[in-house]
């Protein structure tokens, strides 16, 4: 029976998300659990987004707008880009896959960092492409090494900025130099899922490179700072031909009506976006201080998570933290056995996590 499925699937493993709170409560019979595993916002959707969803509930007997017209119009104004250059997806994750589906031929190469978002090798292998994984340098993308890895077979380069799981960024001058030297015909995808959290002024806006006519696709999401992870909605900006190609292969109604309404309303809440960015910055500085008091090395982040070295087996620490009601992400799935990726939560959640971590590490 295994011969029925495509052989490319043999090299793939199912994506394993962070454990949901309800599952941990049920399994371990815990009343209080904090989840800092999936880089979600710890805050609920903005009130106008909730109100917008409530207004359309009685209309759910109808299919959603397949073109996401109202949202595209609003994004075009918000981003100052032409509407035809916007694509909407079931999360930006779907757009990564659709772009790979649209441009990759068998045996063509995709270059991305290692470690980075674990979906990149999956979408490459699905299309029988070749993964060229370039190790990070000082936990950051090594753009010169990525440039050196380009061959005649290279079709795509994916730059996760800020990078998941390290939270590091590449700077504007580095990216500009990289794009000037890249071979013609290579699609550069900027995955900017965490861009709204960035504080460093050297951070480049990928859309600027689109405006300059570079062959780039810039992907962003409403799942993170906009708190709409449960709705699954993201967007991208790309050249006309790429948007048209993606539109040919996406599902007819890939973005549901509730997600469209929530995203549209959320774009008008930029004051709250700024406030949540400040709360995230406060949270990460609190966690920095606690890690330093525990003698743990961490990577300064520009995202809503921190990459920290606990100097012990991450699976062992994960299980012990779980018993204390704290869910985090282990580093072994990224090839770093002693690291944890910890999402920045509310102040209460951060404090509860630190209390659990101190208890787990006190006998080391």
Residue 178 confidence (pLDDT): 98
Cα(309)–Cα(296) distance, rounded to whole angstroms? 6
Q: What is the 3-state secondary structure (H, E, C) of 200-269?
A: CCCCCCHHHHHHCCCCEEEEEECCCCCCCHHHCCEEEECCHHHHHHHHHHCCCCCCCHHHHHHHHHHCCC
Query: Is residue 1's pLDDT more than 60?
Result: no
pLDDT mean over 147-175: 98
- 350: tokens are 């951060």
pLDDT tens digits along 196-244: 999 999 999 999 999 999 999 999 999 999 999 999 999 999 999 999 9
pLDDT bin (cut points 50, 70, 90) of residue 2 is low
pLDDT bin (cut points 50, 70, 90) of residue 323 is very high
Query: Is residue 289's pLDDT more than 80?
Result: yes
Same fold, 2-44+271-361 and 47-266: no
Cα(118)–Cα(261) distance, rounded to whole angstroms? 29
Residue 29 confidence (pLDDT): 79
SS3 at position 298: strand
Cα(4)–Cα(10) distance, rounded to whole angstroms? 12
pLDDT tens digits along 241-277: 999 999 999 999 999 999 999 999 999 999 999 999 9
pLDDT mean over 35-52: 97
Q: Hey, what CATH topology would domain 47-266 get?
A: 3.40.640
Query: Is residue 15's pLDDT more than 80?
Result: no
Query: Is residue 7's pLDDT more than 90?
Result: no
> The pTM is what?
0.95
Given the candidates 3.30.420.40, 3.90.1150.10, 3.40.640.10, 3.30.360.10, the CATH classification of the domain at 2-44+271-361 is 3.90.1150.10
pLDDT mean over 1-21: 79
Omega before 130 within 30 of 0, i.e. cis: no
Domain ranges within the chain, ordered by starting residue? 2-44+271-361, 47-266
Residue 4 confidence (pLDDT): 84
pLDDT mean over 304-311: 98
* Residue bearing the bigger pLDDT, 326 or 15: 326
Residue 8 confidence (pLDDT): 84
Residue 18 confidence (pLDDT): 76
Mean pLDDT, all residues of the chain: 96
pLDDT > 70 in the chain, percent? 99
Backbone angles phi, psi at 286, to 5 degrees: -65, -45
Contacts of 24 (CB under 8 A, 6+ apart): 30, 33, 35, 322, 325, 327
Residue 364 confidence (pLDDT): 64
Cα(128)–Cα(138) distance, rounded to whole angstroms? 31
Query: Is residue 25's pLDDT more than 90?
Result: no
């Amino acid at each position: 029976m295994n011969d029925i499925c495509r052989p490319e699937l043999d090299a793939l493993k199912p994506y394993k998300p962070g454990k949901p709170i309800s599952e941990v409560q049920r399994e371990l019979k815990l009343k209080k659990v904090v989840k800092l595993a999936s880089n979600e916002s710890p805050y609920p959707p903005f009130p106008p987004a909730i109100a917008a969803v409530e207004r359309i509930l009685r209309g759910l007997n109808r299919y959603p707008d397949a073109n996401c017209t109202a949202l595209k119009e609003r994004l075009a104004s918000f981003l100052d880009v032409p509407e035809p250059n916007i694509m909407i997806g079931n999360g930006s994750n779907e757009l990564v896959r659709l772009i790979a589906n649209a441009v990759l031929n068998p045996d063509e190469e995709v270059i991305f960092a290692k470690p980075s978002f674990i979906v990149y090798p999956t979408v490459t292998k699905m299309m029988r492409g070749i993964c060229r994984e370039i190790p990070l340098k000082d936990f950051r993308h090594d753009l010169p090494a990525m440039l050196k890895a380009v061959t005649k077979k290279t079709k795509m380069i994916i730059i996760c900025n800020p990078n998941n799981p390290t939270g590091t960024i590449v700077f504007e001058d580095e990216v500009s130099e990289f794009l000037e030297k890249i071979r013609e015909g290579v699609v550069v995808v900027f995955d900017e899922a965490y861009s709204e959290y960035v504080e460093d002024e050297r951070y480049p806006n990928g859309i600027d490179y689109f405006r300059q006519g570079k062959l780039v696709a810039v992907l962003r999401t409403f799942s993170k700072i906009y708190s709409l992870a449960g709705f699954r909605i993201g967007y991208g900006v790309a050249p006309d031909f790429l948007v048209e190609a993606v539109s040919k292969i996406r599902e007819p109604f890939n973005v549901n009506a509730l997600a469209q309404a929530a995203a549209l309303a959320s774009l008008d809440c930029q004051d709250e976006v700024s406030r949540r960015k400040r709360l995230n910055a406060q949270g990460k500085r609190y966690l920095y201080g606690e890690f330093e008091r525990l003698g743990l090395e961490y990577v300064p982040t520009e995202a809503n998570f921190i990459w920290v070295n606990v100097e012990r087996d991450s699976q062992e620490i994960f299980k012990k933290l779980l018993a204390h009601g704290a869910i985090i992400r282990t580093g072994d799935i990224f090839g770093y056995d002693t690291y944890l990726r910890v999402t920045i939560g509310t102040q209460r959640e951060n404090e509860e996590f630190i209390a659990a971590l101190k208890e787990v590490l006190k006998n080391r």
